[in-house]
Amino acid sequence: MPKSLPYHEFLISHLKDPSYAAVYLETHFELEEGEEPDPKLLKLALSHVAEALGEQNLTPEEAKVHLEKLDELLSQRGSEAIYNLGTWLNALGLKLTVTVAQKAENSNTDSVNNSELTVS
């Protein structure tokens, strides 16, 4: 008897938690300076999330169709692609959002650090 789950089963079981799935996708969207996006890796991440959250939010037939839409979605360009990705994620119980980028700790600017503001 194996003492651990195979990686795929382990990943999908964790991605059933919507908060974990959101962070998982967030890490795939964030790129380091000079890093090139990897469309195949993004598609894999989105399909993992669809597999995990589709069970909770869609019927089996809807989940299958939803996953099939992924290729079409990722081939779109422009604002249509962004809006359709938001709709696609929403069906899984997730929401596409934008947050303020974190500045370097040693930054000497007067801008608001992160999205917090303290007034004295």
pLDDT tens across 25-76, in order? 999 998 888 889 899 999 999 999 999 999 999 999 999 999 999 999 999 9
Q: What local confidence, expressed as pLDDT, does residue 60 receive? A: 94
* HSE-CB of 87 using CA atoms within 13 angstroms: 11
The confidence score (pLDDT) of residue 116 equals 54
User: So what's the pLDDT on residue 106?
Assistant: 54
What pLDDT is recorded for position 94? 97
How many other C-beta atoms lie within 10 A of the C-beta of residue 43? 15
Give the DSSP letter string of 30-77. ---TTPPP-HHHHHHHHHHHHHHHHHHHS-HHHHHHHHHHHHHHHH--
Unique residue bearing structure tokens 């964030």: 30
Q: Is 16 a residue whose pLDDT tops 60?
A: yes
pLDDT digits (tens, 9 = 90+) for 65-118: 999 999 999 999 999 999 999 999 999 999 999 889 887 665 555 444 445 544
pLDDT at residue 118, rounded to an integer: 47
Q: Is the pTM value of this prediction over 0.85?
A: no
d(CA 45, CA 54): 14
pLDDT of residue 120: 42
3-state secondary structure of 97: coil
pLDDT at position 23 over 80: yes
